[in-house]
Structure 1
Amino acid sequence: LDFVTPTQAEQPEVVFTALQRLLETVEKVAVRDTSVLITGESGSGKELIAQAIHYNSPRREKPFMAINCGAIPDSVMESELFGHKKGAFTGADTDKEGLLKAADGGTLFLDEVGNLPLNVQKTLLRVLQEREFRRVGDTSATKVDVRLISATNSDLEKEVEQGTFREDLYYRLNVINLHLPPLRQRKPDIPLLAAHFIAEQNKKFKTDIKGLSPEAQQAASDYAWPGNIRQLKNVIEACITVETEDQISLATLARFIETDQAGGDPNDYNDALARFEIDYLRQLLGAANGNIEEAAQKANMNMATIYRKLKKYGLRKEDIMK
């Protein structure tokens, strides 16, 4: 299975052989219009899998639209997804096409779908049942042909039990479930993913980094990557920015992750420290309602330090606020 995009000529074509079992399932799912629910930790590559499904499907020439449901305020979520008519509410000065219509003929990817408000869940259920919807403030229905792929890092079954997620919608979305293990459980994938991201950055910034040095590759494989694929991608980008040789060296990699440069077995303390820092950031920013300045004051830290650690672990505020 190839991970390709509509602009394949401009993008590196990558085959992740270490994910063969998952990708064989993805390949089978891609050719159908079945709804898919992708589960896994934040940063584990859920959108990458959603893109793989779309770009290997009969819908590949049509749009792939993505929305992070955890990053959009409830008050505007309905308008973002379904659009609105001019005058539907204060500030609706023009007609707006929602993401659902923008994805017509293609795929709509709903990341962190568990964050959808219940009223939007009800409307989305109608889309799955009737293949139509109404824009906010519109009296006529709009037909739509779209495939829905959803993703979550939470336990939707538990949310169904708690009444915060509709059971009927859950079963409509979860026709096929694809679970992505965290990167620390997929160590053979790390060198392949690193090579993919290096190729991406070389193309984007016109650099010519050949890859990871053997020592850096070993250190990357030994590291726990608590921020998963997103952290790996961020670290690769940072390494390429400062690297002066034609390979990413261990010394360069060690500027962005904890490594055992002296050799020997990796120290479990480093992984424990990383997990502690991530948990601490979640609690700190949660208490500050996501306000970086307030969090820095509470912790007696520099704001730049918090931003640096967020980037180090591939964390986003919307992930932390869950």
Structure 2
Amino acid sequence: MTTLVKPLTERQYQTFSVLVISHQTETQMQLQQALSGHVSRLDTVTTPESMMHSSQLLALYDLIIFDTRACQQHELNHIVSFFEGEILLILSENELKSEIVQGRYYLLYPMTDHQIQQAAKCALQRLIETQKYTALAQDLQKYHQTTIVGASEKTKQLKQQIKQYASSKAPVLIEGEAGTGKELAARAIHEASGRVGPFVVVNCSKLSSDSATAELLCNHGGSLRLANHGTLFLDGAENISADFQHILVQLLEGRTIQSVSGNSSYLIDVRLISASTKGMLNAVMENTFSRELYERLSVLKMNISPLRERPADLRELFPYLTGRLCNKLSLPVPEWQNEYDFEQGTYEWPGNIREVRNLIERCLLLNKSPNDYWQEYMLQQSRHASKVVIAVSHHSEIPEFQTIGTSSRRGYPSDWSLRETEKAHIQQVVDFFDGNKSAAARQLGISRKTLDRKYKE
């Protein structure tokens, strides 16, 4: 078999639960002997009758080892129809050509303990692969990255935190403004952790109390079961409903989840990473979030700084995002890929990295460099409003002044080209500030470097 995800370690193998269906006492004993200590739970029943009409009971298990001598064909088909885990068959040689064998792992009599262990491992490995690629299929339209780009001190500290947190199983709480890359950091932690299961995202703000519980507990198709042996990312964790909070406390306490009926529970191996934009402690203070759950989710904490506090990251971030977007949009890489100087040091990027990405995508589609796009935009803004700083001396009268861009004739001649208009406006602003190009650049909404380049042109 071709392994599509990392092979299971012995310790990871021990987190699965197995059900044996066989009426042969000797077979039951051999399977118990071979798998005891290798899985977290191993139960046996003599016939499938007690399991045939209970999807809740079957949901307790990741693997069913099925002795075909213990049941009729229709009984096996019935269980297969609603069990979403893996099935390992025990066959006699005359059953090898049966339809039930197709696509399934199997064992033949007589079998050794080593053969049982290897077959079980292969079946569980495929279960993890199925979960992982189901998660990828659900999120197919999003092209994810796990690379943290930037060389500022704050970004270096973030990368170091990711390395430190990855080796732990403790829950992580990531806080930061919208667009700073909280999900990106969570994915980076998951990738560096070596967990064999998938990274599954749950948008807490889109789940009502009832739907959240049902969605997370529906057998192997639910987000919680899908994330088994992987990572569950709770986006917008401050919006978690009361019912959902209770489930998570139960999960964090005993690594178990109660069945829908409440009569049984099953073990689950999921690492929780939560993200909040508003700040979880505020929700606790407002009594909308359980303090107990907050303390459990925030064993490890991470705060991602906004882009305005790490503008040096634009030097690497801008060409990196340009290259990714060109690949996504099937466009050639533009010559302006490394023009990252626009508004550097003056604009605060309230939308953070998301705003940078949106600007680059807009420029790619318009076939216009960000410097030119930004300059035209700011030129339009300056026509509607001007900002003037006045220093008032000890005199009681405020000196008269003429607002930038105003005269007896409003605007520039209609027959001027955009280049002529731009040149005249830049010169007018520089003259107004008595040749102080730094002040003029701030007024124009461009960097000093861009202003110097415009002068050379």
TM-score (norm 1): 0.67
Give the CA deviation at 1:236.
1.8
Structure-to-structure mapping, 1:217-296, within 5 angstroms = 217-219=341-343, 222-243=346-367, 248-253=369-374, 262=426, 264-267=440-443
8 Å CA contact 1:69, 1:110 repeated in 2 = yes
CA distance in 1, matches of 2:313, 2:335: 15
**Residue identity (%):** 31
1:184 shift after superposition: 1.2
2:151 equivalent among 12, 17, 22: 17
Are 1:123 and 2:247 counterparts?
A: yes
1:81 is matched with which residue: 216, 221, 226? 216
Distance 1:161 1:215 in 2: 45
Report deviation, 1:255: 6.8
Matches of 2:259 and 2:364, distance apart in 1? 45
Matched letter for residue 287 of structure 2: G
1:36 aligns to 2:172 (yes or no): yes
Rounded to whole Å, the distance in 1 between the matches of 2:193 and 2:316 is 23
Give distance in 1, aligned partners of 2:146 and 2:273. Answer: 24
CA contact (8 A) 2:220 2:226 kept: no
> Counterpart of 1:292?
none
**2: CA distance, partners of 1:34 / 1:206:** 40
Correspondences of 1:48-59 after superposition (within 5 Å): 48-59=184-195
Greater Rg, structure 1 or structure 2?
2
Any stretches of 5+ residues in structure 1 without a counterpart?
A: 1-5, 84-94, 271-322
Deviations 1:211-267 (A, max 9, x none): 6466553336642211112222222222222226xxx34123457789998584334
State the match for 2:267 in structure 1.
143
Is 1:70 the equivalent of 2:205? Answer: yes
Distance 1:124 1:250, change over 3 A: same
Query: Quick check: 2:171–2:299 contact (8 Å CA) kept in 1?
Result: yes
Aligned match for 2:309, one of 173, 176, 185: 185
How many residue pairs align between the two structures?
A: 248
- State the shift of 1:201 in Å: 1.2
Using the TM superposition, give the Cα deviation of residue 135 of structure 1 relative to its aligned residue in structure 2, in angstroms: 4.9
Deviation larger for 39-48 or 231-240 = 231-240
Q: Distance in 1 between matches of 2:360 and 2:307?
A: 15
**One-letter code of the match for 2:216?**
L
Contact 1:36 1:149 in 2 (8 A): yes
2:169 aligned counterpart, secondary structure: coil
SS at match of 1:39: strand
| Root mean square deviation of aligned Cα | 3.2
- Confirm or deny: 8 A CA contact 1:190 1:221 kept in the other structure: no
Query: What TM-score does the superposition give when structure 2 sets the normalisation length?
Result: 0.49
Task: Judge conservation of contact 1:12–1:199 (CA < 8 Å) in 2.
Answer: no
